[in-house]
Amino acid sequence: MSLREIKQAAQRALEDGAPRDAVAGEVVSAVLAVRIDDRQELVTVSLAGGELRLSSTDEVLDSPFVQVARAALAGAELGDVSATPSSSSAGQLSVAPVPADSMPPRAQALTDLLTAIVRLGVHHAAGAPAVVEALERLEKEAGVKPAVGVSRFVGRLKRALSRQDVTTTARLLDGAARLARDLTNSSPGEAQQRVATFFGGQSAYSSDPLVDRRFFEIGRERVAGLERASIERRYLLDLGDGQIYGESLRVGGSGSMGPCPRILSAGLSEVSRGITPPAIRLLQYVVSGSLGTDTLSVLGGYAVRRFSALAEMYRVALKQAPGLAEPVILIAPQRFGGSDGATPIDSDGLPLPLAAADAPGIVQAVTPHARRGAISLLSGRLLDHEGTLMLLPLAALIDRDGTRSWWRLR
């Protein structure tokens, strides 16, 4: 099928009497199902500032599926591959199913959970016996002490279901489907690390450890896992290259010690890059609570100053691991503005709203300092709602009576 054929079919439909201007609106994105040999992936197409943006569910930048989609959109003919342009409501989509009996038990548990929720619907799934049973099975597959990854996934899913949040549930379930596929295909590399990060295991961490690094803890939070506030996360920024890592531990579990903020001089640490932020495990480290003005200046050098790059970074992170990614950033707003005077705004005038609904107290606490321009750096976790990217603040560098101090907010 070519785009020309689709266009012709649409024109015929209009000529046959289909309403032309029934509803005012515009197409903002389209999803194409692209098949190469027996494998099929979805390619999302959108325009940003006149530039074509393509991304594929195979998580590979400019993958063959993206190339086929781009070629199809441009009207080029390709030899031995058939481009199947489609949207959610047009075109042909066929999914190559994975035979249930060939699935590993963990993949089966994830698939069963996905199926149970989609069958019942997000609005009816919370507390439904089938979903509870599927969750229990997943927890059982996760072992006696479930890894932080699966624990966090279940925590987020339960919260999304209780709030009847269709978007977040779809994302988490997409992540579950992706993990099930990773488990079934035994994919190497990041996919393997992703699975290990989710279910736990030594293979979660790459064989290439970090040696002699200095980290600055830019934020700390307790998040829901299998139980409320059962996971503690510390976000560490590498003072050498600006990369942000996440150290996650179960409450009562082992992890690094120290206050927030702190500087960690880590002799040896392991990293898992399957998710964003990459998971870190500190094996040898020394803690210091003395920050020093030099460190704060170095920190400023790594802060994001133009927010336009954040959306793409966030999309890439979600595509990499939809059910696990919770990107954390450090920003240096040029100013604060908006109706409440507390929205970070970059040099291009682009705002990055604060997630007030998720942390009303934190945003209120930040607001007076933001209004008087006393905040120079702000760290936080990115999240989204109805297409808008937002920041859940974790900490801020503020000016208090002429002294700069790192203020932990969460």
**Binding of another protein by 31 (CB under 8 A):** yes
For residue 100, state whether it binds another protein (rule: CB under 8 A).
yes
Question: What part of residues 46-65 is at the interface with another protein (CB under 8 A)?
Answer: 46, 48, 53, 55, 57
409 binds another protein (CB under 8 A): yes
Distances (CA, A) of 320 to 60, 121, 367: 9, 25, 34
Q: Which of 129, 301, 387, 402 binds another protein (CB under 8 A)?
A: 387
- 115 membership: H or E segment, kind and range: helix 105-120
Return the residue of 95, 101, 144, 188 that touches another protein, per CB under 8 A: 95
Question: For 291-359, where are the alpha helices, taking DSSP H only?
Answer: 293-302, 308-320
CA distance 47 to 30: 10
38/108 Cα distance (integer angstroms): 22
* Rounded CA separation 61/66 (Å): 8
Q: Is 386 in the site for another protein (CB under 8 A)?
A: yes
One character per residue 205-244, x = contact with another protein (rule: CB under 8 A): ---------------x-x-----xxx-x------------
Q: Least separation, in Å, of the C-beta of 203 and another protein?
A: 25
- Residue 9 binding another protein, by CB under 8 A: no
Which amino acid type is present at position 181?
R
* Cβ atoms 326, 149 nearer than 8 A: no
Identity of the residue, 49 or 301, whose beta carbon is nearer to another protein in the bound complex: 49
Among 21, 89, 241, 293, indicate the residue that binds another protein (CB under 8 A): 89
Pairing of strands 279-288, 388-400: unpaired
Size of the site for another protein (CB under 8 A): 109
Instruction: Count CB atoms within 10 A of the CB of residue 241.
Output: 8
Q: Bridge partners of 384?
A: 389
Minimum CB–partner distance for residue 101 and another protein (Å): 13
Least Å distance between CB 180 and another protein?
8
Instruction: State both tokens at 97.
Output: 């199913």
If we measure between CA atoms, which residue out of 85, 58, 57, 59 comes closest to residue 70? 85
What is the distance between the alpha carbons of residues 343 and 375, in angstroms, rounded to a whole number? 11
> Shortest Cβ distance from residue 338 to another protein (Å)?
4
Is 351 among the residues that bind another protein (CB under 8 A)? yes
Answer for the pair 210, 204: CB distance below 8 angstroms, yes or no: no
Q: Which is nearer to another protein, 50 or 79 (CB)?
A: 50
| Interface with another protein in residues 180-209 (CB under 8 A) | none
**How far is C-alpha 58 from the geometric centre of its chain's CA atoms?**
15
The whole-angstrom separation of Cα 14 and Cα 362 is: 53
Q: Does 260 bind another protein (CB under 8 A)?
A: yes
Looking at 201, 209, 242, 353, which residue binds another protein (CB under 8 A)? 353
Pick one of 59, 139, 141, 174: the residue that binds another protein (CB under 8 A): 174
In the list 106, 281, 319, 381, the residue contacting another protein (rule: CB under 8 A) is: 319
Span of 58-66, 147-155, 235-243, 362-370 interacting with another protein by CB under 8 A: 362-370
Q: Is 159 in the site for another protein (CB under 8 A)?
A: no
User: From the list 25, 129, 301, 402, which residue makes contact with another protein (rule: CB under 8 A)?
Assistant: 25
